[in-house]
Structure 1
Amino acid sequence: MDGTAAVRRRLEAVWRIESAQIVAALARVTGDLGLAEDAAQEAVSAALRQWPAEGIPRSPGAWLMAVARRRAVDAWRRDERLQQKVRLLARDAEDPAGPWGAPGAGADWEPVQDDVLRLVFVACHPVLSREARVALTLRVVAGLTTEEIARLFLVPVATVQQRIVRAKRTLAEARVPFEVPEREEWGPRLGTVLGVVYLLFTEGYAATTGQRWIRRELAEEALRLGRILAGLVPREPEVHALAALMELQASHFPARTAADGAPILLADQDRTRWDRSRIRRGLQCLERADREASRRGRGRGPYALQAAIAAVHAQAESVETTDWPRIVVLYEALCRLAPSPVVELNQAVAVSQTTGPETALRMVDGLREEKALRGSHLLPSVRAELLARCGRVAEAREEFLIAAELARNEREREALLARAEDLEIQPEGA
């Protein structure tokens, strides 16, 4: 592999893991999210220039932080009105116990994870539109590119770029403080925060792009944020429900990919490899969510219903012994509470296990004109599986090929093409 290409891959991996912490730490000290991300991006550009010639540093994340800090100082020096901040930041940079020092180096150090949580709440400030909150959080917290975010929401890249630029400008003009708000102010933000945390998890659970089907570092970051939120608002049922959902889904990680990284679908997974400790934690979180909901006189919310579905899967020994009628009922409730074409698509998969693929295929065909599914590989891939089970092999193979063409994740594309090839070598009606 070319040296520059290898460095770029390593840098991308480091950025995926470290970007939220770097941007969060910069934003806490500078008080300017736009400046923080610009400085971090300049550090990445510097790494691309220097690492191929000088080698990758022993601690790449610390190198990026140091360079980003210097870029922030330089930006402030260019602004004569902020000379006092320059002196303060420069002094802190030289003080190992200051905010730029190593964790544990001094009493003034604040844990990075608190910075990341602050970053999530700033990005989800009610001064922003919901679309802007989601896009900004996925950009600065998850480290997703604008192209990845655009594909995640099936919107043009330019639309995502505009949302992020406007969001940062709005936060700066509103002088939004870099802090976790008082609890009475959480209401307008908590729903969006939970939504973004789960989007972060789902991108880790099944990556929309790239060479890996699973990006565990993203999923683990989402789980960490979910646990922090559960500790901050222990009486909020949906916070515990989201933690339950993520724990239960993450329990599949050991069985979701083959040794070469190829995807393994639910029906083919070795369930003895599922992480039982995660399943226990997930079930405990779901019990806590139900208990808090009952105390408040509420029914299950959307995350609790999804967690309940995941719990049925987690407790089944096989696909055949899964309580599919129970899953269908839970999906029906979810469709009423939080309707979406993706939920209906998943419901159709469950229906196929109870009343057969023909009924499910009619449900899926009814979704073919849904705008939210256009350009997505999800509908043709589900339709292909149902057609194959109906014995309509030629049509199934065509749908698999369409799904593969639409898939942006290389591993998923390979799996879909393999399914099409498997069908091609079988006689019609096999």
Structure 2
Amino acid sequence: MNEALLRELTPSVLAVLVRRGADFAAAEDAVQEALVEAVRVWPSESPRDPKGWLVTVAWRKFLDAARSDAARRRRESPPEEPPAAPNTDDTLQLYFLCAHPSLTPSSAVALTLRAVGGLTTRQIAQAYLVPEATMAQRISRAKRTVSGVRFDRPGDVATVLRVLYLVFNEGYSGELDLAAEAIRLTRVLRRAVDHPEVAGLLALMLLHHARRAARTGPGGSLVPLADQDRQRWDTGLIAEGVEILQAALARDRLGEFQAQAAIAALHADAPTAGETDWVQIVEWYDELCRLTPSPVVRLNRAVAVGEADGARAGLAALSDVDATVPRFTAVEAHLRERDGDLVAAARLYAEAARKAPNLAERDHLTRQAARLNAQR
């Protein structure tokens, strides 16, 4: 059974049913039933046209469900054999639908993984470490929300990219690698739409993912970028990411994901942490601030300024950032340490540890505080 093929075909099959007038929620249910049928039948009887087979079975499942509801039966077309599946790929419309502004970010991510990614509710629930019933309710609510949305309206690529980046940043948990899944989905999107920011996001994901193996040490301890073993970075992913980024930048339509990818590429290009081109990284952060005046971007820029121009300059840049921004205290601790104020740095590291969003980061910051306290 080719599970990868089923997942690849899922969005286009769902799009066909919706194009034919099926309600999104009912169409998604029918496609899931067709996938179950494929798992049962295909090992012994592989179809010559997998997509056509799935469309036919899913459409019949939809009609069967429609006929069982008297109210819906009056609105549905007679149960005749549908036309052949078109060659057009409506996957892009599904991305737009799943990233509808009426959905919360968590619901948009869950619906994207289910409808576009072809993942089961159980897989998504395990990835988010929530009960399957909870995730099923979340997905059901999301499907009901978008069921009345017309399928022929243009969508917002920027919203779709933000949802995919949310998926990527969930990383890995359980049996499902969400970072890898986000890369796969972004590759599909890039084939469907010619937009430099789609390429920029894909490049950014590849460049970050290339460092994954070096990010943690024994026992899952966090390894900062400067301390990572660069021999463990995936040079193939780096080369692909840089190539995609260069092609996107050549189109001279700069966007925030391209700028972020350029920063990641500069980190990837440095043979050692000491050889990082921080001056150019600051310049890219300046571009990024012009594109999106995010406090998180300004926080990261302060770190880069501290590396390029010294800790005092970094602290001056940090003074313009809202102190409530996540990881602000950890950044201040780092800059205070570089400036030689070890007492303040140790106190700030301990404070940042108490605010840490996860155990690995908390343990890392606690060790930093202990290290400085031991030097006093």
Scaled by the length of structure 1, the TM-score of the pair is 0.62
Q: 1:363 to 1:78 in 2, by over 3 A?
A: farther
Q: Which amino acid aligns with 1:350?
A: A
How far apart are 1:20 and its partner, in Å?
11
Give the aligned partner of residue 96 of structure 2: 121
Q: 1:20 to 1:247 in 2, by over 3 A?
A: same
Q: Which amino acid aligns with 2:111?
A: V
**Partners of 2:187 and 2:8 in 1: how far apart?**
17
Give the aligned partner of residue 302 of structure 2: 348
Give the aligned partner of residue 172 of structure 1: 147
**Partners of 2:139 and 2:323 in 1: how far apart?**
27
Give the aligned partner of residue 258 of structure 1: 217
SS at match of 2:177: helix
Scaled by the length of structure 2, the TM-score of the pair is 0.70
Give the aligned partner of residue 71 of structure 2: 81
SS at match of 2:220: coil
**Partners of 1:77 and 1:385 in 2: how far apart?**
65
Give the aligned partner of residue 249 of structure 2: 290
| Structure 2 counterparts to residues 331-410 of structure 1, below 5 A | 331-369=285-323, 373=325, 376=326, 378-410=327-359
Q: 1:413 to 1:35 in 2, by over 3 A?
A: farther
For the pair 1:427 / 2:370, whether they are aligned, the reply is no
| Structure 2 counterparts to residues 20-419 of structure 1, below 5 A | 31-32=22-23, 79-82=69-72, 119-124=94-99, 128-129=100-101, 132=103, 134-142=105-113, 165=141, 168-174=143-149, 176-177=150-151, 186=154, 188-204=155-171, 217-234=177-194, 236-293=195-252, 298=253, 300-369=254-323, 373=325, 376=326, 378-419=327-368
Aligned positions, number = 325
Question: Is contact 1:23–1:140 with CA below 8 Å preserved after alignment?
Answer: no
Q: Which amino acid aligns with 1:141?
A: T
Question: Is contact 1:20–1:141 with CA below 8 Å preserved after alignment?
Answer: no
**Partners of 2:177 and 2:112 in 1: how far apart?**
12
Question: Is contact 1:21–1:115 with CA below 8 Å preserved after alignment?
Answer: no
**Partners of 1:191 and 1:334 in 2: how far apart?**
15
How far apart are 1:420 and its partner, in Å?
2.3
Unaligned segments of structure 1, at least 5 residues? 1-17, 41-68, 89-106, 150-160
**Partners of 2:345 and 2:233 in 1: how far apart?**
30
| Structure 2 counterparts to residues 12-23 of structure 1, below 5 A | none
Question: Is contact 1:262–1:411 with CA below 8 Å preserved after alignment?
Answer: yes
Q: 1:77 to 1:232 in 2, by over 3 A?
A: closer
How far apart are 1:162 and its partner, in Å?
10
Q: 1:305 to 1:73 in 2, by over 3 A?
A: same
**Partners of 1:223 and 1:407 in 2: how far apart?**
27
Deviations 1:329-357 (A, max 9, x none): 11011101211000001101111111112
Q: Which amino acid aligns with 1:383?
A: E
Backbone CA RMSD of aligned residues: 4.4
Question: Is contact 1:21–1:116 with CA below 8 Å preserved after alignment?
Answer: no
Question: Is contact 2:207–2:268 with CA below 8 Å preserved after alignment?
Answer: yes
**Partners of 2:10 and 2:177 in 1: how far apart?**
15
Q: 1:115 to 1:262 in 2, by over 3 A?
A: farther
